[in-house]
Amino acid sequence: MGHIFVSYSRKDSEFVDRLIEALEKFGFPTWQDVNAIGGGEVWKGAISKAVRESDAFLIVLSPQSANSENVSKELAVATKHARRILPVMYQACKIPDKMEYDLAELQWADFHELPFDEALGGL
């Protein structure tokens, strides 16, 4: 099994760390930039490669990530390489036009409205 690439804003790290821990507990390996990119490595290249090699692309949506250029670019790479996209609504936010098309028609896991464990079950 490959990995789930996790795209998020670092400002949402507390939630993301909890989500990653839960996913890995259920046997889903994840890829997170802060743990996977070594010193001296070209981070843009490492991220692009990790997205291309992922089984799924999980995007954590919040006001912070919706305004992140890097999250938007990661989503574009995932779309270009036809990765399975898993949108997770962490906090209510307006989805920017540049991301909306790639997320249209996808079922979202709603961690904003539901308790964590219930939303995790839906994911």
Supply the residues annotated as catalytic. Answer: 74
Long-range Cβ contacts of 20-28 (<8 Å, 24+ apart): 22/116, 22/120, 28/1, 28/4
